[in-house]
């Protein structure tokens, strides 16, 4: 036993163990500090990106409404035409590119006769036999095909193609639905998409159509599949127009947002327009 009143000195081994614990605690504190700092920086970057994207999204939405007001404005100096023109706007810290097109220049798969679809398919590069078969299949899906097969035959065809459903013979609710049509591929649908709309008439207005749609119209009317430059429309103010407005906003921090809207514009509505569709991205 140690003598009373005489202090007991720590042994060298005890002193080393205590020092080791202190060092480990310092390392642990440093590690936690680094993690907290890194997490904070990451969260700040995420917050900054979210704020930048929200600002760009708001700018794109604002540009669409500005386009609607200009489309409805009868004053020549303010009026925009739905002729495919591109307009540059600046809202806040975002630069916006706005493109306005007339939906009447696109092909409506819910209303178009199969020869019109076939002409478009040929125009995008499908082989003649593939184009004819797929155009008939699209018409059968939408219920507009001539000489359509009965439901039992259609079901047998789809089952032979490895599909467990049959065409509904009713109007499409979206262009994406065409991806379920027998014989449709992703590549063909991607090529068709820029030329289709569910808001266009049964026969597109050639003066508002792109060259491939013009060629499809010519093919459906018995002519060759050739393209010609888009013509100027002479009846731009002759009634309501259904316009597709695509706005791409580029803001700070490399934020980029694209919004697409389809609206019927004309004096029939107190606001001057009626929104038909509102979509994220390019449709």
Q: According to the model, what pLDDT value does residue 41 have?
A: 64
Please give the CATH architecture assigned to the domain spanning 109-196: Orthogonal Bundle (1.10)
Task: Summarize the chain as % helix, strand, coil (round to 5).
Answer: 45, 15, 35
CA–CA gap between residue 60 and residue 197 (Å, rounded): 22
pTM: 0.73
36 vs 141, more confident = 141
Confidence of residue 14 (pLDDT cuts 50, 70, 90): low
Confidence of residue 228 (pLDDT cuts 50, 70, 90): very low
Q: According to the model, what pLDDT value does residue 47 have?
A: 66
Q: According to the model, what pLDDT value does residue 112 have?
A: 95
Kind and range of the H or E run holding 52:
helix 12-72
Closest CA to 57 of 256, 279, 199, 234: 256
Every domain of the chain with CATH number 1.10.40.60 lies at: 109-196
CA–CA gap between residue 142 and residue 86 (Å, rounded): 33
CA–CA gap between residue 25 and residue 81 (Å, rounded): 71
Q: According to the model, what pLDDT value does residue 159 have?
A: 96
The answer on pLDDT for 34 being more than 90 is no
The answer on pLDDT for 251 being more than 80 is yes
Percentage above 70 pLDDT, the chain:
80
Is the CB of residue 240 less than 8 Å from the CB of residue 264?
A: yes
The answer on pLDDT for 217 being more than 80 is yes
Q: 85-141: per-residue pLDDT in tens?
A: 999 999 988 999 999 999 999 999 999 999 999 999 999 999 999 999 999 999 999
């Amino acid at each position: 036993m140690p003598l009373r009143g005489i202090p007991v000195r720590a042994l060298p081994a005890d002193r080393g163990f205590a020092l080791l614990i202190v060092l480990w605690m310092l390392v642990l504190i440093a590690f936690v500090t680094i993690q907290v700092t890194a997490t904070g920086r990451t969260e700040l970057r995420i917050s900054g990106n979210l704020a930048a994207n929200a600002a760009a999204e708001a700018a794109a939405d604002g540009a669409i409404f500005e386009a609607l007001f200009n489309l409805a404005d009868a004053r020549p100096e303010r009026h925009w035409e739905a002729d495919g023109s591109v307009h540059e706007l600046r809202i806040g810290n975002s630069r916006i590119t706005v493109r306005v097109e007339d939906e009447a220049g696109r092909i409506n798969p819910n209303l178009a006769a199969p020869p019109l679809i076939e002409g478009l398919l040929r125009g995008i590069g499908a082989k003649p036999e593939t184009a004819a078969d797929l155009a008939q299949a699209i018409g059968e899906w939408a219920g507009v095909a001539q000489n359509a097969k009965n439901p039992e035959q259609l079901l047998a065809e789809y089952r032979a193609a490895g599909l467990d459903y049959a065409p509904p013979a009713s109007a499409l609710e979206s262009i994406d639905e065409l991806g379920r049509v027998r014989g449709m591929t992703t590549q063909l649908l991607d090529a068709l998409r820029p030329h289709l709309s569910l808001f266009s008439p049964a026969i597109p207005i050639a003066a508002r159509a792109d060259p491939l749609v013009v060629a499809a119209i010519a093919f459906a009317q018995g002519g060759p599949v050739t393209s010609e430059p888009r013509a100027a429309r002479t009846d731009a103010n002759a009634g309501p127009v259904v316009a597709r407005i695509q706005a791409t906003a580029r803001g700070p921090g490399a934020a980029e947002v694209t919004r697409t809207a389809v609206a019927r514009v004309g004096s029939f509505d107190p606001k001057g327009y009626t929104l038909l569709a509102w979509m994220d991205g390019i449709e």
